[in-house]
Amino acid sequence: MQPIISVQGLSKVYGSGFQALTDVSLDINPGEIFALLGPNGAGKTTLISIICGIVNPTSGRVLADGHDIVKEYRAARQKIGLVPQELAVNIFETVWSTVRFSRGLFGKPPNDAFLEQLLKDLSLWDKKDSRIMALSGGMKRRVLIAKALAYEPRILFLDEPTAGVDVELRRDMWRMIRQLRDSGVTIILTTHYIEEAEDMADRVGVIQRGEIILVDEKAALMQKLGQKQLTLQLSESLDQVPTALPAEQTTLSDDGYQLTYTYDAQGDPVAVARLLRQLAELNIDYRDLHTSQSSLEDIFVSLVEERA
């Protein structure tokens, strides 16, 4: 499959001498939702800004739908919609003129019916004649999305789309992102809400200190790196973890009734059977048990800590 975005050996050294990206290579598949995760200052915005032609790379190149983002800027850029973190519009303009202007900017013929539907989908239609300065923060966010979608891009970048928005708007945004994906738009987003990446993304990339340290299918990532936990509710309380049990993997709750065993389901397929046999040998009875998988957040934190 031909990637819709191909990032090849990208590095960025800012004028200050700060190296924000080091040899980043990354392919984005058409039609996927790709989540880029990374701590503050990792280089997410820098990477997105280079792909969108806002910041020049120091070396390396980016192809958007086969077009070089530097040499064929217009052809590449009209494929890409960007919803930036911060408001980047003329606040004295009305909503309607802002989205109309944005559509024209990348050479799309006017289509007021399309824009009307877009504003209706984003619950902005009744604000179409309002100046942007008179809108609430959430509405301004919606305007940024409308602006990015006004020229029907095939690729949509969302930089921290749900940072600082209320629960309702967040839910609306995710619903819209899913609809866009279903209509064939490729979505690349950065987020600090890992549970949202977990919920939404097909693939996840982790960036740290300007380097991509991991890219994988979300499901495979969670399976590969995810530790599982087995929690047992004991019939009688224990004073301490029995010495016969693996000390590093086993913990006991303060009241002595809950034993938690952490194991690697991939690396050790008989881990649970072994533990339960050991408990039987020790005459430890339990009333209930359940297993749970590490979240993407756990995986992310452990990866970043590992590299720190």
Ligand X SMILES: Nc1ncnc2c1ncn2[C@@H]1O[C@H](COP(=O)(O)OP(=O)(O)OP(=O)(O)O)[C@@H](O)[C@H]1O
Q: Which residues bind ligand X (CB under 6 A)?
A: 14, 16, 18, 20, 38, 40-46
CA 28 to chain centre: 13
Of the pair 40, 243, the CB lying nearest ligand X is at: 40
Helices (H), the chain: 44-51, 73-77, 95-105, 112-121, 137-149, 167-182, 194-200, 218-225, 271-281, 296-307
Q: How many CB atoms lie within 10 A of CB 6?
A: 17
Which has the closest alpha carbon to 59: 12, 20, 94?
12
Q: How far apart are CA 135 and CA 146, in angstroms?
A: 14
Of the pair 42, 185, the CB lying nearest ligand X is at: 42
- Check: CB of residue 5 under 8 Å from CB of residue 51: yes
Q: How many helices (H) and strands (E) does the chain have?
A: 10, 14
Please identify which residue in the block is written with the tokens 């097909």.
202
The token duo for 170 is 């967040």
Question: Least separation, in Å, of the C-beta of 277 and ligand X?
Answer: 47
The residues near 128 (Cβ < 8 Å, ≥ 6 apart) are: 94, 95, 96, 119
Work out whether strand 155-159 and strand 186-190 pair parallel, antiparallel, or are unpaired.
parallel
Question: Least separation, in Å, of the C-beta of 81 and ligand X?
Answer: 18
- Check: CB of residue 103 under 8 Å from CB of residue 151: yes
Question: Least separation, in Å, of the C-beta of 217 and ligand X?
Answer: 22
Question: Would you give the DSSP letter of residue 65?
Answer: T
Of the pair 42, 145, the CB lying nearest ligand X is at: 42
Question: Least separation, in Å, of the C-beta of 95 and ligand X?
Answer: 26
Of the pair 38, 161, the CB lying nearest ligand X is at: 38
Of the pair 48, 145, the CB lying nearest ligand X is at: 48
Question: Least separation, in Å, of the C-beta of 185 and ligand X?
Answer: 22
Question: Least separation, in Å, of the C-beta of 41 and ligand X?
Answer: 4
3-class secondary structure, 162: coil
Of the pair 40, 183, the CB lying nearest ligand X is at: 40
Q: How far apart are CA 104 and CA 101, in angstroms?
A: 5
Question: Least separation, in Å, of the C-beta of 40 and ligand X?
Answer: 4
Question: Least separation, in Å, of the C-beta of 159 and ligand X?
Answer: 7
Of the pair 200, 207, the CB lying nearest ligand X is at: 207
Of the pair 81, 205, the CB lying nearest ligand X is at: 205
